[in-house]
Amino acid sequence: MFYAFGAVAVVTSLLVIAQRNPIHSVLLLIASFGALSGLYVLLDAPFAAVIQIIVYAGAIMVLFLFVVMLLNAPHEETEFDERTHPLLRKGAMRLGALLAVVLITELIWALRKGGESGAFPSGSVTSVGAIGRSLFTEYAFPFEVTSILILVAMVGAVVLARKESH
């Protein structure tokens, strides 16, 4: 199961950065979020899984989709030939892909060096009640600050996206 969800997440993420049409990118990212949500369920975190769907796939991606549709986002034009795929073009693109490969290799090497870990300790599903209790006692301050952050972001987004009235 892990391999199924993991493969879907990796493949759809690769397709997200490789697609030309931004709408297809957004939809593939939604599929990736779905796979990640499945991985959270496998990790005994149903709360994280469900709010991933509600917040990320259900709200943030709708926002992206709206913006792409309202701007009628054009396919990206660069000075390169339109027919070659982005990852095969010369210049900055190849550097980016090379950088990604180097990054992956380094990260995997670092993780391997950390020693083999055993299987997960058998635990029960973390109840949402326990999470809620922590949120309101230990993490109450970040919780309140986050709400102010969202308010600020909302006001900022409305002001930035407003048409300038002359």
In our burial notation (b when 16+ CB lie closer than 10 A, e otherwise), range 95-131 reads eeeeeeeeeeeeeeeeeeeeeeeeeeeeeeeeeeeee
Nearest to 33 by CA among 21, 49, 44: 49
Angstrom distance (rounded) from CA 55 to CA 49 = 10
Residue 141 Cβ, how far from another protein at the closest point, in Å?
11
Question: Does 135 sit near another protein (CB under 8 A)?
Answer: yes
Residues 91-130 that bind another protein (CB under 8 A): 92-93, 95-97, 99-101, 103-104, 107-108, 111-112, 116-121, 123, 125-128, 130
Question: Does 140 sit near another protein (CB under 8 A)?
Answer: no
Cβ atoms 12, 29 nearer than 8 A: yes
**Which member of 4, 54, 84, 144 binds another protein (CB under 8 A)?**
54
Residue 65 Cβ, how far from another protein at the closest point, in Å?
6
Residue 103 Cβ, how far from another protein at the closest point, in Å?
4
By CB under 8 A, the count of residues binding another protein is: 100
